[in-house]
Chains A and B, each alone.
Chain A
Amino acid sequence: MSLLKYESQQREPLVGGNKDYHQVTEDIIGPIEMKPSRLWYIGFYLSVALLLFGVYSVYREVTYGIGQWNLNKTIGWGWDITNFVWWVGIGHAGTLISAILLLFRQGWRTGVNRAAEAMTIFAVMCAGQFPIWHMGRVWMAFFVLPYPNSRGPLWVNFNSPLLWDVFAISTYFTVSLLFWYSGLLPDLATVRDRAKTKLRKLLYGVASFGWTGSTKHWQRHESLSLVLAGLSTPLVLSVHTIVSFDFATSIVPGWHTTIFPPYFVAGAIFSGFAMVQTLLIVVRKVMGLQEYITLGHIEAMNKVIVLTGSIVGCAYLTELFIAWYGQNPYEWYAFSQNRANLFSPYGWSYWLMMFCNVVSPQLFWSRKLRRNITVTFFMSIVVNIGMWYERFVIIVTSVYRDYLPSSWSTYYSPTIWEIGFYLGTFGLFFTCFFLFAKYFPVIAVAEIKSILKTSGENYKVKMTDIEKADAEKFYSEEVEHAH
């Protein structure tokens, strides 16, 4: 028996049960070939219904104008931009898992990366809706692109963070899509080669681009994945940095701070991982993938959640301290009165955010709770509520009282169509995710196979026996040979 790669036997197996390569294919591709369950139909139709409600809400906004929303004189960005930042943030976990963890050679990534990347793409699709429809006259949306036009040509302002956002989000979407799809090709070819019906053969044949599994192709594929990971890593950091510039480059109290980029990126990863947990806990249960998305995977993601949650907490306290230390009366007013004062109109949202994002994730210092599915699922929702409120707090509490007390606005609460639009993006997100879970391999089959012999439970058991039997002989023959 020769080892291609050695992994310590102390490590928890990443693939449970007694598996061989074929069994991995069966377990992951099998559900695609079956009729969808009743639960799937219920979930799918519910999502489509939400999506349609969203479409109708947007229809009203386009037909009657932005007045359909409760935005007012000082609150020009309400729920809409809150939702935009929230969705973009959620996308970040997918890229972190697939790109950054690939560069760090984290084997556990293989179980969750496919679904997380899909989540990224759908979340960015949802995020993109908000700035586009917020334009009001959406038929002018192409004005954000620098194209030769008959007005001069009058170009876009390349110095504006809002334009940087256009480039950042569209690049992020394109690169994530390419990364995801190039990784899917070999797995779609697996589905194609197992297909029984003509329609499946046709569709998966088209989708898999004629992939054969040739060694040369794999070699290029590996190179491609590595470089795309290397590109996506700074890209994902740049995207939320640029989103934070939308705020940080302004002179609005509460926005004008240099801490925003790292703080936004940490928050994005925090909420993204929470969303991955929400989705995967359901997926592993419904599709019976507990042996691929193990408690070890969930624990690893909870560790990321407690880390990034604490970074976010640190950032909250830092900006509070700097607001006081900076001695700018407007800045300090925004923090001490508009936010931290529990009895101010939006004080409740600030403390809700503090509780959800800073206090509650501290539960995950306990190993027992990190490995508890119910707690994790509950926490993943709490974190996403908290992160939504973070964006709400930043946007609304900074602008509802500006420099001129006479224009301080009355209490802002969204209209049904604003809420409908937000719910609609949930519909879009889950419609896409349900279709993905039904028609695509939700776990990267080829990648699981490549770690099976080092991290599969049955192989690990075997290895432990060999090691125990004659440790010295084992190391000289296997480990040194492998290096």
Chain B
Amino acid sequence: MAGGIKKFVVGSFSDEAVLFPAVKNVRKAGYKIHDVYTPFPVHGLDHAIGLRETSLHTAGFIYAITGTTTALSFMSWVFTKDWPLNIGGKPHFALPAWIPITFELTVLFSAVGMVLTFCYLCQLSPFVKKHHFHPRATDDLFVMAIECTDKTNDAEVQSFLEKAGAKEINIQVAETGWWIGRYDREQKLYREEKGY
């Protein structure tokens, strides 16, 4: 729920080819881009707005080796310590025969762990609700939200965005975090509902 209510100047672009130079100019002018919402992954946009690389894949690797270790240590404990079974006189520590299960658990741990981490980092879950700056951000618009501080001149940012090629420009006051809610109910800010 981390976030808070902030004020944004929101500009919507209809073409990613216009969006890129706009992002560059907005950053050059010193405005703070809160986020850009796009209907599909626009390659290079993350670097253009100054995001660092994600480390999600590193997490995936850690989950993977956790799976490998779990499988190998569990099977060796069972078959050498806990209940050694004589299977056709073959060695109790039957490493080659354990490769398939070890591999499967490696993949399983990594995939499940990564998806859960992904959902945690992006705050994705059923009944999670967030502020959407434009309903067409998941359809055909590229929506740039610029955060306003005390010093920001809203009118200036608006005209700046207009020059940069934005189609729709408006000012929105919004909760930046998430809250528990349903999409069929009216949008209500978390703090408003709680009466802060």
| A→B interface (CB under 8 Å) | 1-2, 4-5, 20-22, 25, 146, 152-155, 157-159, 161, 163-164, 167-168, 171, 174-175, 178-179, 182, 185-186, 189-190, 192-195, 198-199, 201-202, 204-207, 209-224, 226-228, 231-232, 234-235, 238, 242, 245, 446-447, 449-450
When chains A and B are docked, how far (Å) is the Cα of A71 from the Cα of B20?
67
Interface core residue of B39, B46, B90 (most chain A CB under 10 Å):
B39
| B193 adjacent to chain A (CB < 8 Å) | no
Q: Are A178 and B87 in contact (CB under 8 A)?
A: no
B124 touching A210 by the CB < 8 A rule?
A: yes
A212 to B137, CA, bound (A): 8
Choose one: A175, A201, A210, A222; the contact of B41 (CB below 8 Å): A222
Chain B residues near A157: list those with CB within 8 A: 85, 87
Q: Say whether, besides A213-B39, A223-B57, A450-B40, A206 and B108 are in contact (CB < 8 Å).
A: no
Q: Can you list 15 residue pairs at the A/B interface with Cβ under 8 Å?
A: A4-B42, A21-B39, A158-B94, A182-B115, A193-B135, A205-B129, A212-B132, A213-B143, A215-B36, A215-B38, A218-B45, A218-B46, A234-B107, A235-B104, A447-B40
A171 to B107: give the CA distance in the assembly, Å: 8
Given A163-B101, A235-B107, A199:B51 Cβ within 8 A: no
A478 to chain B, nearest CB (A): 11
* Interfacial chain B residues near A174, Cβ < 8 Å: 108, 111-112
How far does the alpha carbon of A163 sit from the alpha carbon of B71 in the complex, in Å?
13
Cβ of B100 < 8 Å from any Cβ of A? yes
Residue of B nearest to A164 (CB): B100
B39 touches A215 (CB 8 A): no
- Assembled-state Cα–Cα distance A190/B132 (Å): 12
B51 adjacent to A189 (CB under 8 Å): no
A159-B98, A221-B122 are known contacts; what are 13 more A-B pairs with Cβ within 8 Å?
A157-B85, A159-B97, A178-B111, A189-B138, A201-B183, A202-B184, A212-B137, A214-B122, A216-B46, A224-B114, A231-B111, A238-B100, A242-B100
Q: How many residues of B contact A (CB 8 A)?
A: 71
Residues of A within 8 A of B153 (CB): none
In whole Å, how far is B26's beta carbon from the nearest beta carbon of chain A? 14
Q: Are B104 and A238 in contact (CB under 8 A)?
A: yes
Contact A4 B54 (CB under 8 A): no
Residues of chain A contacted by B78 (CB below 8 angstroms): 146, 155, 158
A178-B112, A205-B184 known; A171 vs B139 contact (CB < 8 Å): no
Instruction: Evaluate contact between A231 and B97: CB separation under 8 angstroms.
Output: no
B37 is an interface residue with CB less than 8 A from chain A:
yes
Interface centre among A182, A185, A223 (most CB of B within 10 A): A223
Smallest CB separation, B48 vs chain A (Å): 9
Contacts of B127 in A (CB 8 A): 206
The listed residue with most A CB atoms (<10 A of its CB), out of B40, B100, B129, is B40
Residue of B nearest to A3 (CB): B17
B39 engages A446 (CB within 8 Å): yes
* CB within 8 Å for A210 and B128 given contacts A25-B139, A154-B83, A171-B108: yes
Q: Is the CB of B126 within 8 A of A155?
A: no
Give the Cβ gap from B62 to chain A, nearest Cβ, in Å. Answer: 12
Cα-based distance from A161 to B53 in the complex (angstroms): 41
- Measured between C-beta atoms, what is the minimum distance from B56 to chain A in Å? 5
**A224 CB contacts on chain B under 8 angstroms:** 56, 114-115, 118
A245 to B101, CA, bound (A): 13
Residue in A closest to B94 when the chains form the complex, CB atoms? A159
Q: Does B171 contact A (CB under 8 A)?
A: no
Q: What distance in Å separates the Cβ of B111 from its nearest Cβ neighbour in chain A?
A: 4
Residues of B within 8 A of A25 (CB): 39, 139-140
- Least CB distance from A212 to B in Å reads 5
Inside 8 A of A211's CB, which chain B residues have their CB?
124, 138
* Contact B182 A202, beta carbon cutoff 8 Å: yes
B38 near A218: Cβ-Cβ < 8 Å:
yes
Q: How far apart sit A154 and B101, CA to CA, in the bound complex (Å)?
A: 18
* Chain B minimum-CB-distance residue to A207: B126
User: B43 to A4, Cβ gap below 8 A?
Assistant: yes
CA distance A422 to B40 in the complex (A): 40
Contact of A227 among B57, B75, B100 (CB under 8 A): B57
Q: Closest chain A residue to B119 by CB distance?
A: A209
Closest 3 pairs between A and B when the two form their complex, measured CB to CB: A205-B183, A21-B140, A210-B128
Q: Which of B75, B85, B132, B183 contacts A204 (CB 8 A)?
A: B183
Task: Contact check, A213 vs B114: say whether CB atoms are below 8 A apart.
Answer: no
Contacts of A204 in B (CB 8 A): 183
Q: In the bound complex, how far is the Cα of B60 from the Cα of A242, in angstroms?
A: 24
CB <8 Å contact, B183 and A158? no
- Is residue B82 within 8 Å, beta carbon to beta carbon, of the partner chain? yes
CB closest chain-A residue, reference B49: A215
Mask: chain B, 71-109; 1 = CB below 8 Å from A; 0 = not: 000110011001101010010001001101101110110
Q: How far is the CA of A185 from the CA of B124 in the complex (A)?
A: 9
> From A156, which residue of chain B is reached at the shortest CB distance?
B78
Distance A184 CA – B64 CA, assembled complex (angstroms): 24
Q: Which of A163, A199, A209 contacts B184 (CB 8 A)?
A: A199
Chain B residue at minimum C-beta to C-beta distance from A446: B40
Closest chain B CB from A147 CB (angstroms):
12
Cα A189 to Cα B129 in complex, Å, equals 12
Residue of A nearest to B183 (CB): A205
With A154-B83, A209-B128: A221-B41 Cβ-Cβ less than 8 Å = yes
Which partner residue on chain B sits nearest A188 by CB separation? B138
In the bound complex, residues from chain B placing their C-beta under 8 Å from that of A218 are 38, 40-42, 45-46
CB-based contact A227/B60 at 8 Å: yes
Q: Which residues of A contact B38 (CB under 8 A)?
A: 213, 215, 218
Is there contact, CB below 8 Å, between B44 and A4?
Answer: yes
Taking A202-B182, A218-B46, A223-B57 as contacts, is the C-beta distance between A164 and B101 under 8 angstroms?
A: yes
For B184, the chain A residues whose CB sits under 8 A away are 198-199, 201-202, 205
Interface centre among B37, B78, B100 (most CB of A within 10 A): B100
